[in-house]
C-alpha cells in the first residue's frame, strides 16, 4: 500500500487512485476517548452502527478537527465543510458483507426536482437524492478508524481509479469487479482512509473476534451542491 506524502502528494494520489491511506492522523488517546464516548452516545443505533452522527457534539468536533480539515482542504479547497457522519460498527455479533457499489445518495435540506438528481427518498426524516457525478466529484470521505482494520475483520476494499468512470450501473460494477484488482485498505487505529464517493468499493464479513469501528465523515467543497440544492448537515 502506497502511503501519500504530505501536502500536494496526498491530493495527487486522491486524483489518481480515488483513495489514500493515512496512518496516525489522531493519537491513540484521542481515538480511544472518541470510541469510549460513542459507546455511551444516545445516537439511535442500527445493527450496523449509527447514521446521522453529526448530531453528536463529539463527532461534530472531530469532523472539524484541524487534522481532518487539513486533509479535506487539500483536496476540496479551503472552504470545505463536513456535512455527514456515519458510524460503522462491525463485530462478531454485528457482521455483514457489502457488495461492490458507489456512494451516490446525498442528504439535502429540502427537495427541489432538478435534472439528473434522483430517485428521491426520506431516511430518518432527512431528504435524500441520488446525485450526478458532477456533484459527487466535490465530495471527499475521511474514514477514521477507531480500531485496527485488518485483513480478517472485514476491511474496506476498493477498485483503484474507478472514481473516474462516473456513476455506474449494476452490470458495470460487476464487470469492473472481475477486471480490476481489488485493494484491501488495512489501517491502524487512529488512521484514515480518504476516498471519493464514486470509487467502487465493498467489504467482506469479519472473521475475527476484534471489532472494526469506523467513523465515516463526508466533506463537501461547499454546502451549495447544485442550483436550488443545499446539503443537510447530518
Residues written for the chain: 234
Place of cell 443505533: 45
Return the percentage of the chain with pLDDT > 90, whole number.
89
45-93, pLDDT tens digit by residue?
Answer: 998 999 999 999 999 999 999 999 999 999 999 999 999 999 999 987 8
Distance (Å, whole) CA 214 – CA 86: 8
Q: For the whole model, what pTM was predicted? A: 0.95
Residue span of the structural domain in which 186 resides: 8-229
Q: Which residues of 66-76 are buried (b: 16+ CB within 10 A; e: fewer)?
A: ebbbebbbbbb
Q: How many domains does the chain have?
A: 1
| Torsion from C-alpha of 116, 131, 98, 181, nearest 10 degrees | 80
| Average pLDDT over the chain, rounded to an integer | 95
170-216, pLDDT tens digit by residue?
Answer: 999 999 999 999 999 999 999 999 999 999 999 988 989 888 999 99
Tell me if 112 is assigned to some domain. Answer: yes
Distance (Å, whole) CA 39 – CA 87: 11
* CATH code at position 168: 2.60.120.620
Tell me if 131 is assigned to some domain. Answer: yes
- Asked if 18 and 2 count as a contact pair (C-beta separation under 8 A), the reply is no
Distance (Å, whole) CA 104 – CA 131: 6
Amino acid at each position: 500500500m502506497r502511503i501519500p506524502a504530505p501536502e500536494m502528494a496526498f491530493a495527487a494520489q486522491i486524483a489518481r487512485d480515488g483513495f489514500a491511506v493515512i496512518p496516525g492522523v489522531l493519537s491513540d488517546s484521542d481515538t480511544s476517548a472518541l470510541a469510549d464516548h460513542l459507546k455511551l452516545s444516545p445516537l439511535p443505533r442500527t445493527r450496523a452502527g449509527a447514521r446521522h452522527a453529526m448530531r453528536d457534539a463529539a463527532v461534530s468536533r472531530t469532523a472539524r478537527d484541524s487534522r481532518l480539515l487539513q486533509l479535506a482542504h487539500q483536496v476540496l479547497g479551503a472552504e470545505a465543510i463536513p456535512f455527514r457522519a456515519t458510524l460503522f460498527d462491525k463485530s462478531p455479533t454485528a457482521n455483514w458483507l457489502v457488495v461492490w457499489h458507489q456512494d451516490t445518495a446525498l442528504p439535502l435540506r429540502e427537495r427541489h426536482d432538478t435534472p439528473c438528481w434522483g430517485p428521491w427518498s426520506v431516511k430518518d426524516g432527512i431528504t435524500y437524492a441520488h446525485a450526478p457525478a458532477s456533484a459527487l466529484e466535490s465530495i471527499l470521505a475521511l474514514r477514521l478508524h477507531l480500531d485496527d482494520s485488518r485483513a480478517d475483520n472485514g476491511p474496506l476494499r476498493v477498485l483503484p481509479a474507478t472514481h473516474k468512470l462516473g456513476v455506474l450501473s449494476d452490470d458495470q460494477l460487476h464487470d469492473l469487479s472481475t477486471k480490476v484488482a481489488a485493494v484491501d485498505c488495512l489501517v491502524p487505529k487512529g488512521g484514515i482512509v480518504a476516498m471519493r464517493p464514486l470509487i467502487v468499493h465493498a467489504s467482506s464479513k469479519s472473521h475475527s473476534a476484534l471489532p472494526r469501528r469506523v467513523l465515516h465523515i463526508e466533506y463537501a467543497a461547499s454546502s451549495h451542491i447544485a442550483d436550488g440544492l443545499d446539503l443537510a448537515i447530518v
